[in-house]
Each structure stands twice: as C-alpha cells, then as structure tokens.
Structure 1
Amino acid sequence: MRAIQLERPQQFRIIDVPEPPAPGPGEAVVRVARVGICGTDFSGFLGKMPFFSYPRIPGHELGVEVVAVGEGVKNVTAGDRCAVEPYINCQTCYSCTRGHTNCCENHQTLGVHCDGGLRKLFTVPARKLHISRRLNFEQLALVETLAIGCHAVYRGAPKKDETVLVIGAGPIGLSVIEFAKLSGARTIVLDINEQRLQFVRERMGVRDTIQATPDGSELKAFTDLTGGRLGNVVVDATGSNKSMANALNYVGFAGRLVFVGITTQEISFAHPLMHRREMTLLASRNALSRDFADIIAHIEEGRLDTRPWITHQVGFDDMIGAFPGWLKPETGVVKAVVEVS
C-alpha cells in the first residue's frame, strides 16, 4: 500500500507500507477519501512546526469511510462516513480525567507525532470518529480545521454585544472568523494580505477589514472602527511571535487575548499595558470532541457554508509536485484537498 511520507523538511517521497490488520477492541480501520492540507502541514514541510517529528506520514484533516470495527465498538459501523478527531489522548492522565483531552499529557496528533492519513487505509480509535449521514468527504475533511477555530472562539467566549478582532486570515484565521460570526459578536479582520481580506469580505461576508502596513496605522484604524474601545476578544492566528506580541495593543479593558497560532520563537511584551487593562491571556490548543459534533451540526443545518473553503484539489499522485506551490501567497490557496481514494 502506497503512502506519502515527509522524510525530512522539504522532502516528500512515496513509500510502501503494510495494510492494517483486523481492528482490535475499540478500534476501526478506515479508508481515507480526502485529506485537507493546513498550516501545520506547511510548517512541518518547512521544518518550523515545534511538535512535528520526522520521518512522518502527514494528514490529520480527514474525510474517511469505516471499513471494519473491532470488538466493543458501537458508535460506528462499516460504511459510515466520518470526520476524524486526530488528537489521540491517553484517557488516564490528569488533563484527560478533567476533560481536557485536547492537551493530554501524552498527546499524539495524527500526521504530526504519529503517522496520519496520506495512505489508503489505517487504524484509529473508534471513539475518534464523528459520523455524518449528510456531509460529503470534502466537507468531512474540513471539520478539523473548523474545530481549531471553534475551540479558539469558545476560549475567548465573545458575547453578542462585543467586538472580536481576528489577526491573520489564513485557514486557521478563517475558521476563527466563522465562529466569531456565529457568536453574534461584531467581527473585524486584520491581515497583511489584501487578497485574503478581499476573500473575507466577498466570500465570508465580513464588512470590516484592516490591512496591516509598515507604518503601524492599523492600530488607529481599529481604534476608529471601535470608537476607541478596541477588542473585547482578540484572536491571533498568525503563528508570528511579532504579531502575537503586538496583539496586546488591540485588546481593550478587561479584554481577552487568545493565541491559537504556534511559534517556536519567544514572545515578549511590556507588562504594564496588560496589567492596566486587566487582560486575560489564553492559549487554544487543538479542539474537543464536542467541537467536532457542533461543527458537523452547523454544516448539516446550513449555519456554516463550506463552499468557499476548498480552492485547490489534487489527486494522490499529484500532491508532491503541487505542494510547494501552495506555499506561495499568489496561488490564492485557502484550502487544498488531496483525493486519496
């Protein structure tokens, strides 16, 4: 069985791997239909993802079909179409027993810490499968990306009379925007790339956008838009330590700042501003099982429109050649999806 392996940074190759054995208790064997490509995959390719290990079969945004289930599995059966929750947790550590399965002390993310879905078949804990009778495989492959934004917005907990600023309109930022809008809060988006901001305005229906400029005038633009109140919730989805450090300037009094992007660099800021405004600083890692269920329901019931998301699609055999081009902003990639089978 063929698989795509990231042997080392910037070096993919096709390898042969054995087909999985019959599933054991609590397990399911799944056929991978679609794999979404996201910022984690790009960072792993570039060698900038702190949790990524090599060599690795990537792929954690997955639309799959169940092929077989092991003893004791009752939540899925052969033939079910599912999204995969790729965060494999131990269920026994202190974090897991308190319900924080997204930050398990022994956490393994498919395609990052352990091999993922760029192969036809593999085995996964059946409890990590989320069924939909109505979504297609492309939509199911989007659920994990949306889950990251969903969880980040839940962490910031915006209210309908509040303002959310989303910094960064890449795929994770776009997923944050979706759930900021669903919260009923006013949503404003800041990015350096006007092409992305145009997408946000035209395809996502967000009226207020700000383009970052070298002269720093974007803070004044945000101040003007909010009447000087700034943001009740600011979500930085850039993964840039400079942006994350600067994000405090956009947080209003008693506001919440959520870091959903990841950086390998130190983040530093002057404490008096944070202290004076009594800000709350939050990290957002991965997502919870309930986030996946919420997202599938939102899509099925028409509250989330997935049509603008997928801008590039390739077959399994064409992925390696296409991948480097997706890193270039001029290609306009929002979400690339690989058809595995």
Structure 2
Amino acid sequence: MKTLVLEEPGKFNYTDTPFDTTLQPDEALLKVHRIGICGTDYHAYSGNQPFFSYPRILGHELGVEVLEVGSAVDHVKVGDKCSVEPYQNAQLDHAVRRGFTNCGENISVFGVHQDGGMREYIKMPAKYLHKSATLDYDALALVEPLGIGCHAVNRARVQADDTVLVVGAGPIGLATVQFATATGARTVVMDVNEDRLKFAKTVLPIDGTVVAARDETLAQLRAQFDGDLPTVVFDATGNRHSMSKALEYAAPAGRIVFIGLFQGDFSFHDPYFHKKELTLMASRNALPSDFKQIIRMMEEGKIDTRAWITHRSSFENMVDEFERWLKPESQVIKAVVSL
C-alpha cells in the first residue's frame, strides 16, 4: 500500500506498507481519495506541533469511499462517500460521557496522535464516518476544517443581533466567518495580510475588513460597527499578541473565543477583564453534530467551498509541493491532495 510517512521534522518518505483488511464488527474499510493539508500538518513538518511524536502518517482532513463494512455497521454502506471525524476516544472518560467528544481527556486525533490518511487505505470505527449522497470528495475533505469554525460559532451561541469580529483570515478564520455570517450576525474580518482580506471579501459575504497592526486599528474597528465594539471576538491566529488584544476589541459583556493554539503562557490585565465583564472561552475540534450540520448546509448550497481550494497536488508529487506551500508567497488558503 502506498504510504507517505513523516519520519522526522522536515523529512517525508514514500514507502509501501502492509495493510490488514480484516475488520472488527464496528469498523469500515476505506479508500482515501482526498487529503486536505492543514496547519497541524505544516507545524508537524516544521517540528513545532505540540503533543506529537515521530514517525507519523499525517492526514486528518479526508474524503473517503467505503469499500467494506463490519457486521455491526448499518449507517454506511459500500460505495458511500464520507467525511472522517478524526477525534477518537477509546475511553469513556468524564468529558466523553457528558458528550464532549471533542476534548476527551484521552482523545486521540487521527493523523496527529495516531497514524492518519496519507495512504491508499485506512480502517476505523464506522461511527466516525459522515456520509453524503451528493457532495464530492473535495467538499468532504473540507468538512473537518469547517468543523473547527462551526464548533466555535456554536459554542459562542452567536445570534443574528450579535456583532462579530474574526481575527485571522486563514482557513480556520474563514471557516468561522462562514458560520458567523450564516447566523445573520454582522461580521468583520481582521488580519495583517491584506491579500487574505481581499480573498475573504471575494469568497464570503462579510460586512467589512480591518487591517491589524496599525495605530488606527481600534478606530477602524469601531467604524465597522457604527462606533461600537463587537459583542463576539474569535481569535484564530494562535498569536499571543493578537490574543491579548482581543480583550481590547470586545464590547462590554462580550464573549471572546480562542480557536488558535498558542504554545505558551497567556496573561491579561485582570481589572480590565472584570471591568467589561467579559466571557473567555476556548474552542477545540468539533462535535459529531457539527459534522452533520456542515454536510447539511453544504448539500443545501448554503456553503460553497470550491474557491477555498487554491492549490492541488497528486499524492506522488505532494512532497515537492509541500515545501512551496510553507512559503507565505505561495498564498495558500487550502491545499488538497488527490489519490
């Protein structure tokens, strides 16, 4: 079986690996057709992904075909096209028992903590498959990254009368924008990269943009909301300085949601936090219900991800392309690999 292994930071290796097709009653055998490349993959390649070990087969944004199912599987069948929910919990710990499968104490993310989908075939418990009768493999591979934004918006309970600022116009920020605008909330995007802001205005129905890292940033932000500050701020940068600014950007009684992960300690001025009576949240991964919501919205035409895929590669050529995708001048929004 053709397999691509990240042996160590900066070193991919194409190889043939044995594969046991024997299924447990609850499992499905899958053919991988599309692999989306995300920030986690880039970080792992660069050697700065937390909770990670080498060697590892990457790949958790997947569009797959069901080839065979175990005797106990009844919600998917041979030939179904599916998206993969990569957040697996072998233990029913306290969080999982309460329904928080996205942040179980013993969670194992497919393609991160365990070997993933950069290979021809995989098998897994079928409960992690979400099928669609109409979506193609490109769209199905993008359901997982959309799930990060979807979960964040659902967690913040954004309503139509909210005003929303999304900081960071990368894939996760854009996914967050997608679901914030779907609620009817007035939504503005902030980034230091003006090209990404232009892209956001082209592909999404946003209400405005703000260029960060300028003296007039706060004034620009208030101008977007008729003199007010946003009631909900999502930070998708994972940048400590950007995250600290979120307290300044949020309106009194507002909510702040950190989606991006910063590898270090984060602090803020507590009196300022209390003065505004802010609510601070983290958002991690996505829930099964988020996957179902996204697929339904995509099938209904409420989400169109075609413009998101800016770069493509075959599986055989991916290693050569990967180095280029890491460079800011490549202007990658989402790269997709075909098998």
* SS of corresponding position for 2:176: helix
- By how many angstroms is 1:91 displaced? 5.2
| Contact 2:31-2:121 at 8 Å conserved across structures | yes
| Contact 1:20-1:123 at 8 Å conserved across structures | no
| Contact 2:231-2:253 at 8 Å conserved across structures | yes
Name the residue aligned to 1:140: 140
Q: Give the whole-Å Cα distance in 2 for the aligned partners of 1:211 and 1:267.
A: 23
Name the residue aligned to 2:274: 275
Name the residue aligned to 1:51: 51
Within-5 A mapping of 1:283-298:
283-298=282-297
**TM-score when normalising by structure 2:** 0.98
Within-5 A mapping of 1:142-181:
142-181=142-181
Name the residue aligned to 1:25: 25
Q: State the AA in 1 paired with 2:80.
A: D
Which deviates the most, 216-225 or 197-206? 216-225
Q: Which runs of 5+ in 2 are unaligned?
A: none
- By how many angstroms is 1:20 displaced? 2.9
| Contact 2:186-2:207 at 8 Å conserved across structures | no
| Contact 1:259-1:283 at 8 Å conserved across structures | yes
Q: Give the whole-Å Cα distance in 1 for the aligned partners of 2:233 and 2:71.
A: 45
Q: Give the whole-Å Cα distance in 1 for the aligned partners of 2:299 and 2:20.
A: 32
- By how many angstroms is 1:53 displaced? 2.0
| Contact 1:22-1:70 at 8 Å conserved across structures | no
**TM-score when normalising by structure 1:** 0.97
Q: Give the whole-Å Cα distance in 1 for the aligned partners of 2:188 and 2:6.
A: 37
Q: State the AA in 1 paired with 2:321.
A: A
Q: State the AA in 2 paired with 1:223.
A: R
- By how many angstroms is 1:226 displaced? 2.0
Residue 332 (1) aligns with residue 296 (2): no
Name the residue aligned to 1:248: 247
Within-5 A mapping of 1:293-312:
293-312=292-311
| Contact 1:236-1:247 at 8 Å conserved across structures | yes
Work out the number of aligned pairs and report it. 339
Q: State the AA in 2 paired with 1:218.
A: T
- By how many angstroms is 1:219 displaced? 1.6
| Contact 2:60-2:86 at 8 Å conserved across structures | yes
Name the residue aligned to 1:315: 314
**Deviations 1:173-222, CA, capped at 9 Å, x for gaps:** 01001001101100000000000000011221324001113x43212211
| Contact 1:90-1:96 at 8 Å conserved across structures | no
Percent identity over paired residues:
50
Runs of 4+ aligned residues of structure 1 deviating over 6 Å after TM superposition are none
Q: Give the whole-Å Cα distance in 2 for the aligned partners of 1:20 and 1:233.
A: 48
Q: State the AA in 2 paired with 1:80.
A: D
